Amino acid sequence: MKFIATTLAAAAAVCAFSVSAADIRWSASDTFEHTATIAPGKAEEVCGMIESRYPVTWAYSASGPLTFNIHRHSGDDVIYHHRSYLTREQKGKFSPTFNFDWCWMWVNESNEPVTVQVELKR
């Protein structure tokens, strides 16, 4: 289910943490892997064009609990496809209706660094 946040406050909530971003660059085998260590109070995201004709199977695991979401921006609005709180691992399949730049984002709300490993396959 998609959640739509239509207020500036919701957009500000996504940006409340300092974010490190990586571009999704698909390999010849249509995969993308990324590992990052997220400092306390910081966030990491991977973003790129996700085409509706190529559903993405995704999975991540982390060394500690992270707040996670898949989102995109539309002007001042943030449109969420998925959100979860304080999880160490998840997996799913993402099939967007239209082609947009989408971001997988993790926020470290703990007092210790957390390492996350993400795998995407289309």
CA atoms within 13 A of residue 52's CA, in its CB half-sphere: 5
Of the listed ranges 10-14, 61-65, 111-115, the one predicted with least confidence? 10-14
CA atoms within 13 A of residue 59's CA, in its CB half-sphere: 4
Q: What total number of domains does the chain contain?
A: 1
Q: Where are the beta strands (DSSP E) in 1-122?
A: 3-5, 18-23, 31-38, 42-50, 56-74, 77-94, 100-107, 114-121
How large is the average pLDDT for residues 104-108?
97
pLDDT at 16: 59
* Confidence (pTM): 0.83
Structure tokens at 67: 């707040």
User: Where in the sequence is the domain holding 37, given as residue range(s)?
Assistant: 3-121
Torsion of CA 83, 87, 91, 93, to 10 degrees: 0
CATH number at residue 40: 2.60.120.1050
pLDDT tens digits for range 21-43: 899 999 999 999 999 999 999 99
pLDDT at 17: 63
pLDDT reading at 12 higher than 70: no
Structure tokens at 74: 């539309």
Gyration radius (Cα) of the chain, Å: 14
